[in-house]
Amino acid sequence: MLHFLQIPGVPESSKQLMTRLMQEDLLPIEALQSVIESYRRVIRETARKNGKANVKIGDQIADALQALLKRVNVMTGDENQRIIQAAVRYFVIQNDGNGHDLESATGLVDDAKVANAVMMYFGREDLVIKDLPEPPPKAAPVRGGAAAPAKR
């Protein structure tokens, strides 16, 4: 199961949480579908209120995960179900260690990258989310600056 984390596309910053999520007990598919739809509503409501949450990316992730869940059956196997469930759980955790999902237009990009890695893993290239915006680079610590004494 952890071999999934070695495939290209899983953000390095997401691997620790995904590892933990893949170890959780399996939930019924219907529960996962409900959680996705609930979070979709949260994204839309937050966007309506603050204008920052990216509804387009949220809907694309929700649609892709829902489509994948519709294909889960007894032949899927526990290991593969854990990978799918972990992607769903990662999506609905608002502060997943890569910033808050709903506080910027790029807050859901890491969630989309995780979902894309899952889609590729299962051969569902048709569900891959394209043209993702790049999150702004994290600010580097300021060294020197205007208040620093000049070097002589």
104, pLDDT greater than 80: yes
Number of separate domains in the chain: 1
- Residue 21 lies inside a defined structural domain of this protein: yes
Contact 24, 104 (CB under 8 A): no
- Residue 40 lies inside a defined structural domain of this protein: yes
29, pLDDT greater than 90: yes
Please state, as a whole number, how many other Cβ atoms lie within 10 Å of the Cβ of residue 141. 4
Report the pLDDT value the prediction gives residue 5, as an integer from 0 to 100: 74
Report the pLDDT value the prediction gives residue 10, as an integer from 0 to 100: 85
- Residue 85 lies inside a defined structural domain of this protein: yes
- Residue 27 lies inside a defined structural domain of this protein: yes
Contact 125, 9 (CB under 8 A): no
pLDDT tens, position by position, 76-92: 899 999 999 999 999 99
- Residue 26 lies inside a defined structural domain of this protein: yes
Question: 112 versus 13: which is more confidently predicted?
Answer: 112
Report the pLDDT value the prediction gives residue 98, as an integer from 0 to 100: 73
**pTM to 2 decimals?**
0.84
CA pair distance 39, 61, nearest whole angstrom? 11
Three-class secondary structure assignment of 14-71? HHHHHHHHCCCCCCCHHHHHHHHHHHHHHHHHHHHHHCCCCHHHHHHHHHHHHHHHHC
- Residue 60 lies inside a defined structural domain of this protein: yes
Range of the domain at 122: 2-127
Report the pLDDT value the prediction gives residue 93, as an integer from 0 to 100: 94
